[in-house]
């Protein structure tokens, strides 16, 4: 993952409403939730939900699928795993350098 993509995804998740929305979809699992159920759980107006949902969709964190008249929203787990991996992959990579410098 490129740093620019990670920054955009983190920025999208940096809004409290979007983060709460994303967590609702992550908890829902792979089957996702109809948009009306997401709205009920969050207790926000449809226009507000639509605005925040679009931002998550634009950044690849959420997908939407129309099933007849119902719009199903899903967390994109591969995107979430890539973002978490990007943040954790190099954890403590420079620790050996820091330990060597402290010994000197």
- 19-23-29 Cα angle (round to 5): 150
Residues 6 or more apart whose CB falls under 8 angstroms from that of 76 comprise 60, 61, 62, 63
CATH of range 3-103; options 1.10.150.530, 2.70.98.60, 1.10.10.10, 1.10.1380.10:
1.10.10.10
Rg (CA), the chain: 18
Q: What is the pTM of this model?
A: 0.86
pLDDT in tens, 45-82: 999 999 999 999 999 999 999 999 999 999 999 999 99
């Amino acid at each position: 993952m490129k740093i620019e993509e990670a920054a955009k995804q983190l920025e999208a998740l940096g809004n409290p409403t979007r983060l709460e929305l994303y967590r609702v979809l992550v908890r829902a699992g792979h089957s996702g939730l109809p948009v009306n159920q997401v709205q009920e759980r969050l207790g926000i107006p449809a226009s507000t939900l639509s605005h925040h949902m679009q931002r998550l969709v634009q950044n690849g964190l959420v997908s939407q699928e129309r099933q007849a008249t119902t719009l199903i929203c899903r967390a994109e787990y591969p995107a979430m795993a890539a973002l978490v991996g990007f943040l954790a992959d190099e954890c403590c990579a420079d620790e050996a350098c820091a330990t060597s410098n402290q010994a000197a």
